[in-house]
Chains A and B, each alone.
Chain A
Amino acid sequence: MKSLAELAKIREETLKKVDIRKERKGTRIVVGMATCGISAGARPILTALLEEVNKRNLGDVEVTQTGCIGICQLEPIIEVYKEGEGKVTYVDMNAEKARRVIAEHIVNGKIVSEFTIGAYEK
């Protein structure tokens, strides 16, 4: 270790790996992963979300799973809790759609209306 910059680099890189253990604010993406969600294909979605978050270095985004959300026929479902925003529920998801949610909603702040439960019900 010859410089403070080197130390700072290790710190930043590792922090991303461990800050899940700290209390933090930011966005939470929840994937419904009860039996219904899993059988409808929630796993590849979860993986896709993780990959995107990782690739884009979204340090304050937490991806987690939950049990049955209740409307099993619309699974796979993901829910996005963004700070200062209400909950947004996306239904009938797949990995591609999940990537778009990250790009448009999480990164650019524009809700992908066509995937939401509101759009589906119309």
Chain B
Amino acid sequence: MELYRSHVLICGGTGCESSGATNIEEKFKVELKKHDLEKEVKLVKTGCFGLCEAGPIVIVYPEGSFYTQIKVEDIEKIVEEHLLKGRIVKDLLYQESVEEDMIKSIDEVGFYKKQMRVALRNCGLINPEVIDEYIAMDGYKALGKVLTEMTPEQVIEVVKGSGLRGRGGGGFPTGLKWQFTYASKGDQKYVACNADEGDPGAFMDRSVLEGDPHAVIEAMAIAGYAVGADQGYVYVRAEYPIAVNRLQIAIDEAKEYGLLGKDIFGTGFNFDLEVRLGAGAFVCGEETALLKSIEGQRGMPKPRPPFPAVKGLWDKPTLLNNVETYANIPQIILNGAEWFAGIGTEKSKGTKVFALGGKINNTGLLEIPMGTTLREVIFEIGGGIPNGKKFKSVQTGGPSGGCLKEEHLDTPIDYDNLVALGSMMGSGGMIVMDEDNCMVDIARFFLDFTVDESCGKCTPCREGTKRMLEILDKITEGNGTLDDLDRLESLAETIKSASLCGLGQTAPNPVLSTLQLFRDEYEAHVNDKKCPAGACQSLLQYFITDGCKGCTLCVKVCPVNCISGEVKKLHEIDQVECIKCGACVDKCPFNAIIKK
């Protein structure tokens, strides 16, 4: 066995991978060889570290030095200075981790300090493609414990006692779901995992699969034992090639070790796992549609009941949980229900992973105990709003969720609080908006998404969302009336109550919540034909102010030749001809062109 004095961890999540992590790994190999350090320094490609904003990320242990936005050219310096001579390269460290003369390790910087990692505990710590590293972090210990020491009933009791609720968005108590499936009669039962993460901007499940695939595999085997299933399926979207690849490698490794397959640990328990790829239809994240898709049929929802726990895959009882839900299970088994129930709020236990995006300094992935406030997430972990702009709203729950305002920021995050405010937990997407975001436009964006993704089976969703989108288009183009707002509301209520599945039932939420909280913005669009945030192009006009020096640059850049004026004299824009492309604003060296 080789013992290395230093480990260099390179983030191999999708975010860092796309900003060049592969080249970085190659360059490290070359440099380490050049300095003959191959036997002293180990290179490890891991899953997502979370702070995607600062990628590509490299962490060097034992110091825990947190190098961010690393370029291939920087590596020579890191190897020569840090790995060879032991001098941390301060210039390349994450800015916040250098404080005067103190250098902080990764756990001490603001982004990580308030986090608590349960589902993400191994992400960015182990090499997801090496099963031994997962085993070293107590991997498969929970499966061993369950198979040798516990009855299925006891396992279900522990999960129930933990208070774990579905992390895919619904928040249904996981233990109850397990119990229902356990209690269903059937010669064959199945366990399935929903990794069809479809919310725009959400990447929690992808990161778990990329960073710690064995946690999901182990949990599914535990679930199989608890409910009496010997076959599992992971339904993951084909747009996640790295996640699919690592999951498949992990399954193959587990099979080779006999942790999947026949007679696991010599207990007579059999469990096998297969990957099923989804083609990226949003509706396939809905449980009944997902199961149809696994069967090889067109992914369309069907009415419930019967629930999958009674009649699921091929009409057999099926347990379906989300990736993040599963990722919590081995920890709950090892540490006990009380440990998990001790984290979080009264009705929402444990931690939740969020994908933070939008107008925020630290875009990335974070995991916090339930009950952390939105303010802590956005301003402490997320580092606040960039460019000194003012916070306006935060959107949670993706296309099914809603927007929250400044006054809601001190609300502790849990399932029930968010629902009470007209939004929802959802799968964990969190999009921050500043004063430049128009709330009507945001509602339109999400509705546009659901119109695209509606499967068309039921009329309220297929036709209703389309009509709502038309009304929103009308409003953002400046042709709306006050009646349109009422019409939006009544359509929304109908779609909510009459749609077949969750997609339609929640599709109007972004519109309803913005109408409720930001009605003044809608009214400004309708009554004054103005967009207060200056985002709706049709309602804007560009003007040249007295700051104009007559340099004629704007005239040259205008694609429709609508700017006129003599050299060294004030120019003017022809409002009829102007297509509002904004090219002149970007070009003007004196910031003399404004939009309003």
Chain A residues packing against B (C-beta within 8 Å): 1-4, 7, 10-11, 13-21, 23, 31, 33-35, 38, 46-47, 50, 53-54, 62-67
Contacts and interface: CB of A to CB of B under 8 A. Distances in A.
16 contacts: A1-B258, A2-B263, A3-B266, A4-B265, A10-B135, A10-B136, A15-B136, A18-B7, A18-B126, A18-B137, A21-B125, A34-B87, A35-B85, A54-B1, A64-B86, A67-B86
B513 to A, nearest CB: 42
Given A1-B257, A1-B258, A11-B135, 11 more contacts: A1-B259, A2-B263, A2-B265, A11-B136, A11-B139, A21-B61, A33-B84, A34-B87, A46-B5, A64-B86, A65-B85
Interface stretch (B140-148, B333-341, B368-376, B547-555): B140-148
Report which residue of B144, B257, B264 has the largest number of chain A beta carbons within 10 angstroms of its beta carbon. B144
B138 interface: yes
A1 B7 contact: no
A17 B136 contact: yes
B123 interface: no
Report which residue of A13, A20, A31 has the largest number of chain B beta carbons within 10 angstroms of its beta carbon. A20
Report which residue of B132, B138, B264 has the largest number of chain A beta carbons within 10 angstroms of its beta carbon. B132
B40 interface: yes
Closest 4 CB pairs of A and B: A14-B136, A65-B86, A1-B258, A14-B132
Given A1-B257, A4-B144, A64 B3 contact: no
Contacts of B144: 4, 7
Interface of B: 1-7, 9, 39-40, 42, 61-64, 84-87, 107, 125-126, 132-133, 135-141, 144, 148, 257-259, 263-266
Contacts of B3: 16-17, 50, 53-54
A10 B135 CA distance: 7
A111 B62 CA distance: 25
Contact of A50 (B40, B64, B133): B40
B237 to A, nearest CB: 31
A46 B133 contact: no
- Interface of B, secondary structure class, is loop
Nearest to B259: A1
Contacts of B137: 18
A76 to B, nearest CB: 13
A15 B3 CA distance: 11
Contacts of B84: 33, 38
Nearest to B63: A64
A63 B85 contact: no
Given A4-B144, A4-B148, A20 B85 contact: no
Contacts of B87: 34, 67
Contacts of B138: 11
Contacts of B135: 7, 10-11, 14
Nearest to B261: A1
B41 to A, nearest CB: 11
Given A18-B136, A64-B63, A3 B85 contact: no
